[in-house]
Chain A
Amino acid sequence: MSFKDLLDNGPKVVNLGMERFYLDLQDQEVPAVKVNWRPPLAKSSLMDKLRKLRGEEVE
């Protein structure tokens, strides 16, 4: 999307994480898509160990 497109047509928003941002945009009638994503609960070292246990390759 060019800068001119952005000014002419407005932004197309995809919101990850904090739902409040998405709800605020909705309140202002700005089209937005909410992606239900949260960061993993554990530190990356623990996540790597869990993936290893599952037989996945870990860098």
Chain B
Amino acid sequence: MNSIEMANSITFERLLKAEPHIVDLGMAKDVIPDFKEKMILHAGPPITWDRMSGPMIGAVTGAILYEGWAETPEKAREFASKGNISFEPCHHHNAVGPMAGIISPNLPVWIIEEKNSGKRSYATLNEGLGKVLRMGAFSEEVIERLNWMREVLYPVLRSGVRKFVNDNGGLNLKSLISQSLHMGDELHNRNRAATSLLIRTLVPSMIDAEGSNPDLSRVVKFVAGNDHFFLNPGMAAAKVSLDSVGYVEGSSMLTIMARNGTDFGIQIAGMKNKWFTCQAALPDVLLFPGFTREDVNRDIGDSAIMETYGLGGFALAAAPAIVQFVGGTPQDAVNYTKEMYEICIGENKHFTIPALNFRGTPTGIDLIRVVETGITPILDTGAAHREAGKGQVGAGIVRMPSEAFVKAAEAFVEEYSK
């Protein structure tokens, strides 16, 4: 075994040993490390206001309105353009966010802890589909929903989580993800089983803690009516598991893939927090009625952390029903998963796929294998409208652009040829 293979076996084993658990909820400004006043976290690699795409601008506009930093969308954009806000990637603060991935100070977040390392990660509560902040929408209904989520959903959910954690020492997400794969989820665009299991796990504790609260039934209905509710804590589970790998000299395993609607970026375990970026892909997705290809924005979101963890597009074979949402046939779903084995270090013995005779999901993307085979990772993702405020236009399969991998391989060679 050469030194790269040895380093990759260390990173791979660490990733498989990770034990992500829900341990609490909190307000972003109180719990996310180094969160400053007038700071907004966003998806993907770093980006400045002048390079942000429509949906990112829309989501930032919505966050400014929600925080009360401006009263109208026009004033919100003026506020942002004058440099009043520090924009930083979620990934620089142990956090992740789907689509625009906006986290502003007063948004409630899940707190996920990796039990071996004690490391934590954070993600907001999922709002549902359609006109939502993460898709770049900022209308009154979007802000009202966010206010309701902070005032009603968050305290009830937090009480239930605290009761559950107090009784059980944490909610085991690795086990929940494993079960969901056996129930037809791939955990990126299909989270129906995982959301159902999360409700089944938490509701008894929510009743114990908030049984007399008249808001409880509205909270349970909201969560039960949103098939994507598990996506955010699932992403944070992937994030903290990959963070628990840390820096491993000589490892060519990817620890981050992320998009901000303008750029696509990756990080490598053996390249100490360095971003390698290129232009984000233009998704060729299954469109919702009334939209055209011209409406689609470039690929956006930290949700690619699911594929980096060996789920989502990499686990498509576990989710034959998803082809109704993203296009293709169940055989295509199997083929995508089989192709991803070509670029991964190993198979996840904890996450198995019934349709492949319980073979483990392809896990641990190897930069060198990507460059060598010419196979870049596929994602199973949502697509946002290119104009701010319009929301989601479709969902489908997107292949990541190659340039970021070539740049990373060049840097990797330079670093380790010394």
Q: Which residues of A does B touch, CB under 8 Å? A: 36, 38-42, 46-47, 49-50, 52-55
Chain B residue nearest to A55 (CB atoms) is: B2
Q: A41-B405, A46-B406, A46-B410 are in contact. Are A54 and B371 (CB under 8 A)?
A: no
Q: Tell me which residues from 390 to 418 in chain B have a Cβ below 8 Å from any Cβ of chain A.
A: 402, 405-406, 409-410, 412-413, 416-417
Chain A residue nearest to B403 (CB atoms) is: A41
Q: Tell me which residues from 235 to 260 in chain B have a Cβ below 8 Å from any Cβ of chain A.
A: none
Stretch from B116-124, B196-204, B323-331, B372-380 that touches the partner:
B372-380
Q: Is the CB of A42 within 8 A of B409?
A: yes
Q: Is the CB of B4 within 8 A of A41?
A: no
A-B contact count, CB below 8 Å?
49
B370 interfacial by beta-carbon distance below 8 Å? yes
Q: Is the CB of B417 within 8 A of A53?
A: yes
Interface residues of A: mostly helix, strand, loop or mixed? loop
Chain A residue nearest to B338 (CB atoms) is: A36
What are 17 inter-chain pairs, A to B, with CB distance below 8 A? A38-B375, A40-B371, A41-B374, A41-B376, A41-B405, A41-B406, A42-B406, A42-B410, A46-B406, A46-B413, A49-B417, A50-B368, A50-B371, A50-B372, A50-B412, A53-B413, A54-B4
User: A38 CA to B405 CA in the complex, in Å?
Assistant: 15
User: A53 CA to B249 CA in the complex, in Å?
Assistant: 13
Q: A42-B409, A49-B413 are in contact. Are A54 and B2 (CB under 8 A)?
A: yes
In the assembled complex, how far is the CB of residue B82 from the closest CB belonging to chain A, in whole angstroms? 41
Given contacts A40-B373, A49-B413, A53-B413, 13 further A-B contacts (CB under 8 A): A38-B375, A39-B374, A40-B372, A40-B374, A41-B405, A42-B406, A42-B410, A46-B371, A50-B372, A50-B409, A53-B2, A54-B2, A54-B368
Most buried by B among A39, A40, A41, A47: A41
Chain A residue nearest to B416 (CB atoms) is: A53
Chain B residue nearest to A50 (CB atoms) is: B368
B339 interfacial by beta-carbon distance below 8 Å? yes
Which residues in B have their C-beta under 8 angstroms from that of A42?
371, 406, 409-410
Which residues in A have their C-beta under 8 angstroms from that of B402?
41
